[in-house]
Structure 1
Amino acid sequence: MGGASNDSSSSTTRCGVFELSIFVAAIVSGTACSICSKTMMELHGVGIDGTMELFTKPIFQTFGMFVGMMFGLIMHWAVLVLKIPFPGYEHTSALDNDQRPGYNTTSTNYGAIQSEKDQLLASQASTASTSNATPVWMYFFLIIPSIFDLGATALCMMGLRYLDVSIYQLLRGSGIIFVALMKQHVLGDRLFFFQWLGVFWNVVSVILVGATAILNSNDDVDLDPNDAFWGVALVMAGAFVQALQFVFEEKVMSMEDAAAPPLLLIGMEGFWGTLLCLVVVYPLAYYFPGEDHGSYEDPFNTYEMFMNSNTIQWSFVIYFFTIFAYNLFAVLVTFMLNSIWHAILDNFRPITVWLTDLMIFYVITETGDFGEPWTKFSVVQLLGMFVLLYGTAIYNAPNAGSLKLEGQWYSFGFNLRGEYEEIELEIHEEELNREWEERQQNFKARRTSSLAERSPHTSIHTQALRGFASPKI
């Protein structure tokens, strides 16, 4: 697919068992990442002046995130060189030279007999594989999503300083609002009315959760309501910038002539983000006035505190691996499904984050220094979470686990059965087209050589991956 599609099917991608497992892995790693990020901000270490202070270092955590993402480059080259099966990568075989640009084909087993025709086809396939490699300009082009990621992460980390991690995570769920707006008005991907209803309920949930943060700060003498307000504003701004990243990533991974594989996307975002942190962000943070020994964030003080605390070091190691795992699985969610599903992922994480944070406060720690307590305003936050899930379930129809508004009591008078039937018809037609294309490919494969016997057996994951690039946007 080369451009934005105006059909609605691209907005509603089916989720199978494999895609669901990736989605769950993203939730687990994302929960661990959020908890670890907030925990690091609550740790203490000895700074450059010899006194104990809080390790509230949002720029350092942003930098650590990008360093962790660079590990994707190592995995990318390992997958290419060792021909490891991985979503988004299809490795060229000797007799399969009918490929989409930007992708290779999963290797297939052939008979032991090799002919001159086989060798000629192998040479042609090798040439085609070389021409279909990721172009050099794409490596530089990927600086754009890394800038989005840098801005979004820095804004969210700044906001996290003033908010509980569960509220922070709930507010990040507002990303689905911005993604939906951009998919329709920027990418030209038409959304149904029931999807806009889902977006509306997400707006309501953001209002409830933001109100919870401000009410909690008003009730606690140790908290400043202005800090809570700015925390909410910063996280919302970060969610908007991250929505730009999600939509851009979807576009990049589904380009016809130069699609970027997921691991390359992650690794190059990490590379450019690390470079930008070192040469742009950290110098600005050092010279910009603030509370960290005269700077907004002093890298020398950060280094001193890091080296003086084993707890901070181990927390960073855990954060390093969880942030890479989350970014890997989250990008795979965007690749296998679409950018809306990436935003939906961020809407499900608040449940696991909040439950984990409550468990840390009441079960794991005895002093109550970590985790999050239940307050009298937590009921409002809980209501916001239910509204968030309700809106997400409406938006995700007619996929499994969604809510169809067909006149039931929870539909509030809406009956949108016609829209669901239209989507289901489009999905059915896509399945028929996919089956026809597979039969055509098998027919071509059987005619490739009279001496070599092609095995029709490939993994179900590979079969599923062959259609990933077409219906996204």
Structure 2
Amino acid sequence: MGGSGHGAGCGMAEVVVFVLALVAGTGCSLTSKVLLDMESEGMDGVVKKFEKPLFQTLGMFVGMCAALIIHALVLTFKIPFPGYKHKKSVSKRKGYAAVGEVGEPEEEETPSIPIWMYFLLLIPSLFDLCATALCMLGLLHVEVSIYQMLRGSAIIFVAILKHFVLKDKLRDFMWVGVGWNVVSIILVGMTAMFSGGGGEGDDGKDPVKGVCLILAGAFVQSLQYAFEEKVMSMEISAPPLLLIGMEGFWGTVVCIFVLYPICYALPGADVGGTMENPYDTIAMMQNSAELRQMFLFYFLSIFFYNALAVLVTFMLNSVWHAILDNFRPITVWGTDLFIFYFVTTSFGEKWTVWSWVQLGGMVVLFYGTAIYNAPHAGSLKLDGGLLSCFCKFDYSDLEDEDEESQPLVPVNDAAAAPYQSPYQSPFMTPNTLAKRRAAEKEGKVFSKVSRGGSFA
């Protein structure tokens, strides 16, 4: 099929963008772990590992801030980009059409983004900040492949929040998917704990602590998803690059002016008896060119993954965005093994007897997620067969339209359906989809405030 974008098909352009996004996403996780294992001389003259999780969190948000520059360029030079609609002729219309805007006559002016929207984006940014910091602390104690898989536990917490807090009741088959994801987390957690000896090792790593921190981060991430879905009925939403950039902006501000002073004042194991000393971080960066280069790779991988993930969702659909995230544990683990066995044993990860358990956990994770995401393309319906473990559920009451049957269309196309946001949550349930479609049929806007994403 031709690759015309807007969910129309999977051509060469779509394949290239998907692969590039996968490479960038893999780079985010790997460079993050490599940074933690690199060594440099600090302000105290001691050569040590660059274990600075708060600095990495700050770097992630600064990388996301770069989206604001691209956002400004898109508007100024009217560059075609997913989620933006530029005026084609001189009229009352100015700027761009916000993501999710229903088609309007050419002469009507597109509403601009209100000031309160910029401040509202502080809330998901704080969730993202807390989740990323917890996961970075956990990454200090476990391998990057385990870290990547454990972050998939967010879907478990999302399901619980959606069902009991948002009152968006999950179908029975979705609970089956959640159950399999719980099994996968248990298997991966066992791998982390038993392969690491079950307690704190001589190198100061405590796998149990690492698993708990990453799961806590996944829970906070689920609160972010729940918040986003709660505000999905808002009539005004922001363009994707602005979403990414503003989340990065607020995260940067909070890191510099709130978290760093707190971490510098609290007692800890860093230089000067602090939790994390920014002056020691600067000294270590200045004393190692390799460290600066790796941080640059980390910064660029974050930015490009955010931008390319938007393109994946826009050119294909949000299901493919979810598939992209599910592929990352495979590429991260595979690359980590390749580095250890074919590049250098100083970094990477070796295969152990417990790796077989981890592999089983990965397969179960994919299986559970495929069940949960039904009936979309790429999912698995439980039809009573062997692959369904002889479980059978009735899907007949669900609309058989997945997102591939609903192409994204320009706002001002006379025959167009309402424009759909390229930021649709991979955790969107059939109930949420039904609400969105009902709103669109009534001519209302059904959009969402969505995250640029934490992809460290």
TM-score class, shorter-chain normalisation, is: 0.7 to 0.9
For 2:61, which of 42, 60, 66 is the aligned residue? Answer: 66
Shift of 1:214: 0.7
Give the conservation status (yes or no) of the 8 Å contact 2:39–2:48.
yes
Give the conservation status (yes or no) of the 8 Å contact 1:247–1:339.
no
Q: Counterpart in 2 of 1:288?
A: 266
1:32-71 matched pairs, under 5 angstroms: 32-71=27-66
Shift of 1:224: 7.6
For 1:267, which of 233, 239, 245 is the aligned residue? Answer: 245
Give the conservation status (yes or no) of the 8 Å contact 1:34–1:165.
yes
For 2:153, which of 168, 174, 177 is the aligned residue? Answer: 174
Q: Counterpart in 1 of 2:353?
A: 376
| Identity among equivalent pairs (%) | 52
Q: Counterpart in 2 of 1:328?
A: 307
Shift of 1:404: 2.0
Shift of 1:361: 0.2
**Coordinate RMSD, CA, aligned:** 3.6
Normalized against structure 2, the TM-score is what?
0.80
Q: Counterpart in 2 of 1:356?
A: 335
Distance 1:103 1:316 in 2: 33
Give the conservation status (yes or no) of the 8 Å contact 1:217–1:223.
no
Q: 1:378 to 1:260 in 2, by over 3 A?
A: same
Q: 1:363 to 1:133 in 2, by over 3 A?
A: same
Which AA in structure 2 matches 1:414? C
Give the conservation status (yes or no) of the 8 Å contact 2:319–2:376.
no
SS of 2:48's partner is: strand
> Are residues 1:257 and 2:227 paired?
no
Please list every run of 5 or more consecutive structure 2 residues that lacks an aligned counterpart in the other structure. 1-6, 423-435, 438-446, 449-456
> Are residues 1:306 and 2:278 paired?
no
Shift of 1:179: 2.1
Distance 1:399 1:15 in 2: 15
1:390-401 matched pairs, under 5 angstroms: 390-401=367-378
Distance 1:225 1:43 in 2: 16
SS of 2:84's partner is: coil
Per-residue deviation, residues 164-197 of structure 1 (Å, max 9, x unmatched): 0001111001011122233344444443222221
Give the conservation status (yes or no) of the 8 Å contact 2:140–2:205.
no
Distance 2:417 2:43 in 1: 54
Distance 1:137 1:184 in 2: 29
Give the conservation status (yes or no) of the 8 Å contact 1:218–1:225.
no
Distance 2:198 2:113 in 1: 55
Give the conservation status (yes or no) of the 8 Å contact 2:376–2:402.
no
How many equivalent residue pairs? 415
Q: Counterpart in 2 of 1:76?
A: 71
Q: 1:334 to 1:232 in 2, by over 3 A?
A: farther
Shift of 1:147: 0.4
Per-residue deviation, residues 399-430 of structure 1 (Å, max 9, x unmatched): 333322111112122122x31x3334455998
Q: 1:66 to 1:440 in 2, by over 3 A?
A: closer
Shift of 1:95: 8.6
Distance 1:182 1:106 in 2: 30
Q: 1:268 to 1:169 in 2, by over 3 A?
A: same
Give the conservation status (yes or no) of the 8 Å contact 2:375–2:381.
yes
SS of 1:198's partner is: helix
Shift of 1:465: 8.5
1 or 2, which has the higher helix percentage? 1
Distance 1:399 1:300 in 2: 50
Q: Kindly name which structure, 1 or 2, has the bigger radius of gyration based on alpha carbons.
A: 1
Normalized against structure 1, the TM-score is what?
0.78
Please list every run of 5 or more consecutive structure 1 residues that lacks an aligned counterpart in the other structure. 1-13, 108-120, 444-462
